[in-house]
Amino acid sequence: MRLAPRLALTFGLLAAVSTAGVGFAVRTRLAAKETARFQREVKLICDRVVDEITRQGEADQTLIAGACQGGELVERVGIALDRGELDERRTGFSEIVRGERKAFDLDELVLGVEGGDLVGASPTTLLGLPPRDVDLLLSGTTQKFTIRGGAVPALVSRCTKRSDGGKIVGLVGARHVDPVLDRLSRTLDVTVSPAWPRATPAPAPTEEEKKKTAKAPKGTKPSAVAPPPAPSAAVAPTAADELARATCKLPDSNGRDLTFDVLKSTKELDENLHDVDQTVGLYAAISAAVAFIVSVFLARGLGRPLADLATEAGKVAAGEARPLQVKGSGEVKELVHAFDRMIQDLAVTRRRLAAASRVAAWREVARRVAHEVKNPLAPIRAAVETLRRLRARDDPRFDEYFDEGTRTVLDEVHRIANIVTEFTRFARLPQPRPVDCDPEEIARHVVQVHKAAAGEIPLAHAAQRRAPTFRADRDQVIQVLTNLVQNALDAVKDVPGGAVSVTTDADGHYVAFSVADNGPGIAPEIAARLFEPYATTKASGTGLGLAIAQRIALEHNGELSYVGPSASGKGAVFRLLLPVEGPPPMSDVPSSDG
């Protein structure tokens, strides 16, 4: 994977992880705030329930107090009590109590007089209250409502009034708490769960029981007193609902707290949290997408110049790097500028090194040429001086030595001519003219050309791997292989069982030719300078053959090397490595004439 995609992926992952982390933190924070808000809302509902019960009790107290102050029922009972007509009118008063209870919308209403005398009650199940209980009901505070505990908690309101004869008439009303809680549950969409056990509703009394109770003499108890009916329970939540809970307290008249729980389904909370999750997820996804897009542009802005820089850097060794167009900003731009300066400096340095190398090479060649030319001049000078000396003395041996001396001079002059000819070939080697070449065809051609010269010496071609077509100067490649094959044949001509092989192979982007023999090999001291001009082990050689072959390989952007002995440990193996794409353009090849 290239740098730009890696950077984009890395930046994108970092953006996604950071966005997810921030989103999770925000979601956690919002969820905590929403949960706290919901719990406060439930607590406020609990407080509202208490307030509603209090307001209901105060309203009932106002209603009952008004019945005593301006109501006809209490006034008429007082008059009947003063006149001694209470027993005669008890039944009528009892019927009026039932009507008043319904009119006041109370659950219980008791009308009594001092001494515990119960004049009327509704429901009729309360007619059996003993005088002591009636006195307790009438003796309570009339300033505010009280809360009755027990099995059926109720809001109790009472009032008393003295008759003209000074006798006390009292009216006590009670509103059961359970129906109030049920109504508030439905209104506030909550479930109120009281801590007290909720009584099972008792069957309503029959008409006959009502008549018997109404006709019962003063102070008698009904044969069976059923508990007051309990209101229907509030709608309970399903088992699948999760509930938020708040505990409410109502102090009763005995100083104890009536506790009940307000339960609210967390469905609304869950929906709100789901909305929070969706909102945070949406914004997180948008942020991650924007961050990823930005990271892609940043990665391209950073990765593309670096990729171009890496591409051109790979061409530096081949001398093919070109200045880059400045892209990016900041450090990337500075890096590109520095790279361009480095390329320019390298180009200048390369030209200077090439020039210095050519000068040094020509100096070395000149020194070696001078040395090679000087060697045959010594016998020429000796022969000429001998002839002059014999001629000056009219020595009779002059004629005899003349032929020998002149032959020596001619031989050495011929030797000097060969040296000059080979040097001219080395100095004026033409630049490569590449064409498409088949390496196996070239190897077979070289082997076929040297079959006659090899005579009885086995000379064969082998292909290790199918080598691709490559671009090269075919004649120059054949010249190099010819030099290597001739040297190999010379090395094995006096070796019993001598053999020479030419092998072709493919090595990545290169084509390889190997020439191997099983001759005496090459001495280590000679191997180090095999490709230097005039380095040779043959008496008749000029020492320029391998130097010319090496130069041809280098100008093809390839390499000619001495590998070492063959696999059998004998002889020598030379390897010619040439690039498939061919030599560089002629303008990039150093001039042969330096």
pLDDT score at 463: 83
Domain span at residue 323? 315-427
437 & 423 share domain: no
445 & 393 share domain: no
Report the candidate in 404, 583, 420 with the shortest Cα–Cα distance to residue 511: 583
Identify the domain boundary among 427, 453, 468: 427
Q: Is residue 306 part of a domain?
A: no
Rounded Cα–Cα distance for residues 175 and 153 (Å): 9
Q: Is residue 281 part of a domain?
A: no
CA dihedral sign, ordered 110, 116, 120, 121: positive
361 & 446 share domain: no
Using only C-alpha atoms, the chain has a radius of gyration, in whole angstroms, of 63
539 & 577 share domain: yes
pLDDT score at 226: 37
Q: Is residue 593 part of a domain?
A: no
Q: How many domains does the chain have?
A: 3
Angstrom distances, CA of residue 395 to CA of 381, 391, 399, 401, 410: 19, 6, 9, 10, 23
Sequence-separated (6 or more) residues with CB below 8 Å from residue 281:
23
380 & 239 share domain: no
Q: Find the CATH number of the domain harbouring 182.
A: 3.30.450.20
Rounded Cα–Cα distance for residues 446 and 479 (Å): 9
The backbone torsions φ and ψ at residue 120, rounded to the nearest 5 degrees and listed phi first, read: -165, 155
Q: Is residue 139 part of a domain?
A: yes
Q: Is residue 290 part of a domain?
A: no
Q: Is residue 127 part of a domain?
A: yes
Q: Which long-range contacts (CB under 8 A, 24 or more apart) does 423-430 make?
A: 423/365, 423/369, 423/544, 425/544, 425/548, 426/365, 426/533, 426/544, 426/547, 426/548, 426/551, 427/365, 427/592, 427/593, 428/592, 428/593, 429/548, 429/551, 429/552, 429/555, 429/592, 430/592
49 & 165 share domain: yes
The backbone torsions φ and ψ at residue 178, rounded to the nearest 5 degrees and listed phi first, read: -60, -50
395 & 513 share domain: no
403 & 437 share domain: no
Strand partners, 161: 169
436 & 419 share domain: no
Q: Is residue 467 part of a domain?
A: yes
Q: Report how far apart the first and last C-alpha atoms of the chain are (Å, whole number).
A: 45
Can you give the pLDDT of all 594 residues of the chain as single tens digits?
666 677 677 777 777 787 778 878 887 888 888 888 888 888 888 888 888 888 999 999 999 999 888 888 899 999 998 999 988 898 899 899 999 999 999 999 999 998 888 989 988 888 788 888 888 888 878 788 888 877 788 899 999 999 888 899 999 999 998 888 888 888 888 888 777 665 544 444 445 544 544 444 444 444 333 344 443 334 444 444 577 788 888 776 666 777 888 888 778 778 888 888 888 888 878 887 887 787 777 777 766 777 777 776 766 666 666 666 655 566 667 777 777 788 777 777 877 786 776 667 667 667 767 766 777 787 888 888 888 888 888 888 888 888 888 888 888 888 788 777 767 666 666 788 899 999 999 999 999 989 888 888 899 998 888 888 999 999 999 999 999 999 999 988 888 989 999 999 987 789 999 999 998 888 888 877 778 776 666 655 566 788 888 888 988 889 999 988 887 888 999 999 999 988 876 544 444 444
590, 535 contact by CB (below 8 A): no
Q: Is residue 309 part of a domain?
A: no
Q: Find the CATH number of the domain harbouring 447.
A: 3.30.565.10
pLDDT score at 538: 64
319 & 359 share domain: yes
User: Which pTM value belongs to this model?
Assistant: 0.44
Identify the domain boundary among 359, 392, 427: 427
Identify the domain boundary among 380, 409, 427: 427
134 & 252 share domain: yes
498 & 548 share domain: yes
